[in-house]
Chains A and B, each alone.
Chain A
Amino acid sequence: MAEVVEHNKSFNSLESVISIKGLRKAFGDNKVINGFDFDLKRGENVVVLGKSGSGKSVLIKLIIGLMKPDQGSIEVFKDKVETLSTSQLDEMRVKVGFLFQSNALYDSMTVRENLEFPLRRHRKKTSKEEVNKLVMEALTNVGLPQTVDMMPSELSGGMRKRIALARTLILKPEIILYDEPTTGLDPITGKEISHLMLDIQKKYNTSSIIISHDINCVKIVANRIVMLIDGICYATGTYNELENSTDTRVKQFFE
């Protein structure tokens, strides 16, 4: 039985690091996000739950600025994402890490080069020794320091996920957006990754939005769950609150 982390009510009194109001995004006639409102508090892990194609991945891509919203506003640390210039967006992205569903490790680079890539762009004055230290620290955090000179193709799915997480962590982001972090992994590795995410939250006091279908992962990492149904925030609450919901559209996710 997976561990259940209870929602800590004290999050409500903390400042919002992400604030979304009236967000809308459509692809042709398909209104994927249709008036979504949401706040992420400092140090909080929020899981966004919804059916496939319900717009969960679109939501976090809108937050990081990979897509532009049709309407509404997204504030990250009080900055409106849609009005940021390219350089301001780059600055914002130092504080917001993104873990891709496919890991998105650069195939042509070693693990070390993958981890050095964001560092060399955001911290140009960092010495070679310091870069090396940060790379090893990030790899140690995910338990894979021995893979530093390996190519991504030589790693297993779980290892690749950990390396991708290490690359996300290397800039020490304050917010991490996880896009289906346990998809495609066996249940044991999935559980290890979920605990790793929890450790990261505790160690660095990061706030996270986690897109996941994996109910075991949700149980482990969620302080709060947001149900994205029909493009809106349909329901929100702790795991236990939503599991005991009488709403059939909510309840079906927990059966």
Chain B
Amino acid sequence: MIKNILIEIGLIARFTARFFREVFKPQFEFSEFLRQCFYIGNKSFPLVAITAFIMGLVITMQSRPTLVEFGAQAWLPKMISVSLVREIAPVITALICAGKIGSGIGAELGSMKVTEQIDAMDVSGTNPYKFLVVTRVMATTLMIPILAILADGISLYGGYLGCNIHGLVSWDLFWNQVFDTLVFADIVPSILKTFFFGFIIGIIGCYQGFNSSKGTEGVGQSANSAVVISSLLVFIIDLLAVQITDALNLN
């Protein structure tokens, strides 16, 4: 069991090392990269937006009674802005993307592997790693931070509506409080970690798909493993990120 886990970690590390070797080598598959960016960004946006909005609204409504108890409901915009921007929006975006994009990549590449499409690409004189893996990993690394920034804004809008369900907070007052509260140390580390989330979702999805076997059963397993492993790694990266920001006194 432990031996298998260590072997798997080694194989993922080797697969990731190959990404860094291939990414700077010509030829650059720019049109495929743009296609993936469109697919990952555009197609995932509605789901991320709805989830972020609901999370913003729900967190605000759940937090309000406790703050009211201490007579601190005026602090509601400050509190939710920090928790949404630092933690909830980036992590929820990453988890949604791990589910939607990671499984999609795992299943797509897995199906290409078992139907010999990856071999066909090789025979056509195309480096399948570069065409399929590098473009997808680059696209997830770039698009997930953009989705997370959009999720920050949408979840804060949800928070604004949440504040106004039982109270009355003007649009200007809400956003003034949000921007007075949020500082460099809240925004930059939270965006930086989403690049790592994006990279890990892409690389794990591609790794699982690229190493798929056993026909359609293997494709299902690849999609499933892509979601499980990348979700777990998102939490581990988040844990490491908070340790680093804590050590740098950014919390």
**Complex: A108 Cα to B115 Cα, angstroms:** 13
Q: How many whole Å from A159's CB to the nearest CB in chain B?
A: 16
Residues B125 and A101 in contact, CB atoms below 8 Å apart: no
Interface-side segment among B52-60, B116-124, B136-144, B191-199: B116-124
Let me know if A90 and B120 touch, CB within 8 A.
no
**A61 proximity list for chain B (CB < 8 A):** 119
Whether A117 contacts B116 by the Cβ 8 Å rule is no
Q: How many residues of B contact A (CB 8 A)?
A: 15
Q: A106 an interface residue at 8 Å Cβ cutoff? A: yes
Which of A102, A104, A108, A118 is the one whose CB lies under 8 Å from B125? A118
In the complex, how many residue pairs between chain A and chain B have their CB atoms under 8 Å apart?
45
Contact A66 B123 (CB under 8 A): yes
With A and B bound together, what is the CA distance between A118 and B126 in angstroms? 8
Cα distance A90–B130 in the bound complex, in angstroms:
15
The one of A86, A93, A102, A108 that contacts B116, using a Cβ cutoff of 8 Å: A102
Least Cβ distance of B191 to chain A in Å?
A: 31
Residues of B within 8 A of A86 (CB): 127
**A117–B126 touching, CB < 8 Å:** yes
B111 at the interface (CB under 8 A from A): yes
- Near A by CB (< 8 A), chain B positions 118-161 give 119-127
- A74-104 residues at the B interface, CB under 8 angstroms: 86, 90, 93-94, 98, 100-102, 104
CA gap between A108 and B111 in the complex, in Å: 11
Please measure, in the bound complex, the distance between the C-alpha atom of A104 and the C-alpha atom of B122, giving whole angstroms. Answer: 11
Assess the A121–B119 pair: CB atoms within 8 A.
no
Q: In angstroms, how far is the closest chain A Cβ from the Cβ of B139?
A: 15
Chain A nearest Cβ from B222, distance in angstroms: 16
The chain A residue with its CB closest to the CB of B31 is: A120
| Contact A94-B123, Cβ < 8 Å, known A101-B116, A102-B115, A102-B116 | no
CB-defined contacts of A68 to chain B, threshold 8 Å: none
Contact indicator A64/B116 (Cβ below 8 Å): no
User: Which of A66, A107, A122 interacts with B122 by CB under 8 Å?
Assistant: A66
Q: What is the minimal beta-carbon distance from B22 to any residue of chain A, in angstroms?
A: 12
Contact partners of B111 in chain A: CB under 8 A: 107
Does the CB pair B125–A100 fall under 8 Å?
no
Docked-complex contact B126 and A104, CB < 8 angstroms: no
Main DSSP-derived SS at the B contact region: helix
Name A100's closest neighbour in chain B (CB-CB): B116
Q: Residues of A contacting B125 with CB < 8 Å?
A: 90, 93-94, 118, 121-122
Interface centre among B117, B119, B125 (most CB of A within 10 A): B125
Closest partner residue, chain A, to B125 (CB atom): A90
Nearest CB on B from A152, distance (A): 10
Is A93 in contact with B123, judged by CB distance below 8 angstroms? Answer: yes
With CB as the reference atom, state the residue of chain B lying closest to A90: B125
Q: Is the CB of B123 within 8 A of A98?
A: yes
B contact residues around A117 at 8 Å (CB) = 121, 124, 126
Q: B115, A64: Cβ atoms under 8 Å?
A: no
B120 close to A100 (CB less than 8 A): yes
Q: Do B123 and A64 touch (CB < 8 A)?
A: yes
Q: How far is the CA of A98 from the CA of B115 in the complex (A)?
A: 14
Contacts of B123 in A (CB 8 A): 64, 66, 93, 98
Q: Which residues of B are found within 8 Å of A106, using beta-carbon distances?
A: 112, 117, 120-121
Quick one: CB contact mask for A133-147 with B, threshold 8 Å, 1 for yes? 000000000000000
A residues 5-45 with Cβ under 8 Å of B?
A: none
Query: Which residues on the A side are within 8 Å of B116 (C-beta)?
Result: 100-102, 104
Asked if A118 and B115 make an inter-chain contact with CB atoms under 8 angstroms apart, the answer reads no
Cβ contacts under 8 Å, A94 to chain B: 125
Q: How far is the CA of A93 from the CA of B117 in the complex (A)?
A: 16
B215 to chain A, nearest CB (A): 11
The distance in angstroms between the C-alpha atoms of A107 and B112, with both chains bound, is: 8
B→A interface (CB under 8 Å): 108, 111-112, 115-117, 119-127
Q: List 11 A-B contacts (CB under 8 A).
A: A64-B123, A66-B122, A86-B127, A93-B124, A94-B125, A102-B115, A104-B115, A105-B117, A106-B117, A108-B108, A117-B124
- Taking A98-B123, A106-B117, A107-B111 as given, write out 10 further A-B residue pairs in contact, using a Cβ cutoff of 8 Å, ordered by the A residue number: A64-B123, A66-B122, A66-B123, A93-B123, A100-B120, A102-B115, A104-B116, A118-B124, A121-B124, A121-B126
